[in-house]
Structure 1
């Protein structure tokens, strides 16, 4: 074979090698792009088992996570761990769909009692109250943060109460509902969320 033929074949070989190199680079780029896209999708929750971000604000607490007092009287954690009251301590559990609240009740007793004159009366009312919420401690914290505004709303509600309401069971129940509505109104104005489900009387004196 002549030198001319060798020179003619050399550019062809170089051209093939260049094509192979370009194909290899392209394959690596595709693989890298696919891996990057997969990582992005996984990180953003599009694929895989990653949970979506939890929305801020109060969250309902399942009954299984209800805080229960321990044997020494202190507040225990959630569930039935060591030192906590277990479900079997309170009788047979209620079958699903046959009564009982679906969510836990988170209780909080307000520290100071309330005293107010009854409407158009010489008597005054002195009460202690506790509240319950099916939500987590966020609602209780909101209540504590806005304690002054909440107490003012409670006193105004008590001031609109008549004698007829405080001497009957139905009247007291109606008053408890009014107090819950008053507290929720304040929390909605201040925090954008109420969350108080019930008000309970821990003390109730008419003088």
Structure 2
């Protein structure tokens, strides 16, 4: 009977050892997984997190004009007998400056399900820095193709009303932004303007 009593503590000792080893392994695996996730976030991360904010175009705030009151403008700042008073900046309008760019050639396309065609000249604006316009120039062939596709999807009814023309402007802006996002990862075109608009 003494043999049976001696076997029980040995079994309990082995069980405690196995449980201890299992707990240590769990802690090591958990720490390794947490460390791996931390390292992956710091080194790899997502592409949006990997790019610093400086790598994308930045909004350009309107510059503050120097405001000179009439009292300050008179006296030493006069030249040639007139006051050198700065024009005060307006308080309304957009918060950011707009940069405009006109595409050189007009666009000509058939209208959808029609014998008529449309010819438009296009200019764009952006509140972002010059990189958006540079991207547009770099990918102008792809942009021109997207604009022609958008014009080809336009119906006669859309081009003869003001609301239809506004919708066409938005559609073209979206098409241009999709190209820029695909090619550069950033759109930035806020508005499209017609510099010429003919339907025949």
User: TM-score, normalised to structure 1's length?
Assistant: 0.60
The corresponding residue for 2:157 is 164
CA contact (8 A) 1:65 1:104 kept: no
Gaps of 5+ in 1: 1-52, 67-85
CA contact (8 A) 2:124 2:191 kept: yes
The corresponding residue for 2:117 is 124
The corresponding residue for 1:56 is 55
The corresponding residue for 2:90 is 94
> Over the residues paired in the alignment, what is the CA RMSD in angstroms?
2.0
Q: State the alpha-carbon separation in 1 of the partners of residues 135 and 57 from structure 2.
A: 10
Aligned length: 130
Moved over 6 A (4+): none
- Pick one of 140, 149, 154 that aligns with 2:133: 140
- Pick one of 141, 145, 151 that aligns with 1:152: 145
User: TM-score, normalised to structure 2's length?
Assistant: 0.62
Q: State the alpha-carbon separation in 2 of the partners of residues 116 and 191 from structure 1.
A: 27
Gaps of 5+ in 2: 1-51, 66-84
Q: Deviations over 1:93-132 (max 9, x none)?
A: 333xxx3000000000000110000001010000000000
Matches of residues 30-49 of structure 1 in structure 2 within 5 Å?
none
